[in-house]
């Protein structure tokens, strides 16, 4: 099989490239490098079944070779990134999704969209099921990302209904692991970077807001299983083990052996107060649930950051 992965030089995209190569696929990675890193591709760059295309998927892309699968993972994904690049974020969620759906339609390929738990916004339902329509501020600072993904889901379902494209949608909850950027801006790399440098660990609000963290290999496994089903509605992929941000900061500080103090800053606009996936659908449909516990996953990720920082 031949699989095209947009955002292939990114954190999750590069892990997907690695998995599909390991499964014997030819892989074409597409990335415009706004937030990607070519170093993420080093482990398999020399593989003859791998090819990289530098391209902004918000513009049309023609691929002459037959494609069996198209996975759309291109997008800034952390608040720091999409607040800096709001218009490219909206374009890759709209035009980029349209272009990749067109590729899938042309090639008769399976299609998988990377959506996000952010489509639930600051949720009034807890935990969040796929049937929940969300509580999103469309004109808030986070709206560029939230609404881009909500539109992406809508056009994906439209292509399935109108054109019969074999589409799949995943809603990704906070995912972490090796190849995250130190300056990613999300809570885990922030905490690890600050703890390893002995700097104050920044917690927003009082730290009572909750998140649910899943290790990247669990996410990749769920994606692999869903792609080869005939199910087309969204599926939550996340780890239901919920923790407050303050507790998480203390976990990271202990793991790093750090004496960093914890400091508090005002909560950003529209920051979700709770986040926990209901993964009943993934369990029943895919026989999937997370396998890597937070202790083990955080240790692996901390080792990666230590090596990257020379600590």
> Which residues form the catalytic set?
145
For the stretch 219-237, what's the b/e string if a residue is b when 16 or more beta carbons lie within 10 angstroms of its beta carbon?
bbbbbbbbbeeeebebbbb
Query: Rounded distance, CA 299 to CA 48, Å?
Result: 33
- The answer to whether residues 225 and 287 touch, using CB atoms and an 8 Å cutoff, is yes
Picking from 139, 164, 169, 155, the residue whose alpha carbon sits closest to that of residue 270 is: 139
- The answer to whether residues 5 and 16 touch, using CB atoms and an 8 Å cutoff, is yes
Query: Rounded distance, CA 6 to CA 174, Å?
Result: 20
Beta bridge partners of 26: 2
Q: What is the dihedral of CA 277, 282, 287, 293, to 10 degrees?
A: -20
- The answer to whether residues 71 and 6 touch, using CB atoms and an 8 Å cutoff, is yes
């Amino acid at each position: 099989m031949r699989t095209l992965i947009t955002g292939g030089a990114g954190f999750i995209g590069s892990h997907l490239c690695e998995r599909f190569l390991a499964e014997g696929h030819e892989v074409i990675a597409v990335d415009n490098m706004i937030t990607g890193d070519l170093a993420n591709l080093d482990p398999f760059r020399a593989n003859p079944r791998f090819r990289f295309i530098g391209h902004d998927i918000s513009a049309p892309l023609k691929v002459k070779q037959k494609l069996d699968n198209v996975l759309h993972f291109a997008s800034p994904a952390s608040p720091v990134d999409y607040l800096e690049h709001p218009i490219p974020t909206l374009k890759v969620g709209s035009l980029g999704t349209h272009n990749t759906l067109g590729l899938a339609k042309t090639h008769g390929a399976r299609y998988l969209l990377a959506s996000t738990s952010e489509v639930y916004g600051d949720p009034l339902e807890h935990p969040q099921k796929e049937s929940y329509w969300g509580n999103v501020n469309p004109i808030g600072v986070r709206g560029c990302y939230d609404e881009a993904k909500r539109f992406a889901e809508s056009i994906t379902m439209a292509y399935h209904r109108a054109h019969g494209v074999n589409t799949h949608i995943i809603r990704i909850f906070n995912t972490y692991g090796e190849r995250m950027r130190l300056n990613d801006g999300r809570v885990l790399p922030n905490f690890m970077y600050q703890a390893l440098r002995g700097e104050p660990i920044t917690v927003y609000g009082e730290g009572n807001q909750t998140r649910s963290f899943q290790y990247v290999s669990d996410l990749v496994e769920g994606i692999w299983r869903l792609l080869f089903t005939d199910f087309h509605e969204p599926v939550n992929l996340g780890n239901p083990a919920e923790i407050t941000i303050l507790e998480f900061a203390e976990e990271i500080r202990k793991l790093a052996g750090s004496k960093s103090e914890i400091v508090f800053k005002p909560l950003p606009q529209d920051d979700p107060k709770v986040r926990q996936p209901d993964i009943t659908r993934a369990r029943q449909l895919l026989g999937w649930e997370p396998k890597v516990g937070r202790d083990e996953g955080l240790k692996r990720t901390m080792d990666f950051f230590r090596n990257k920082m020379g600590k």
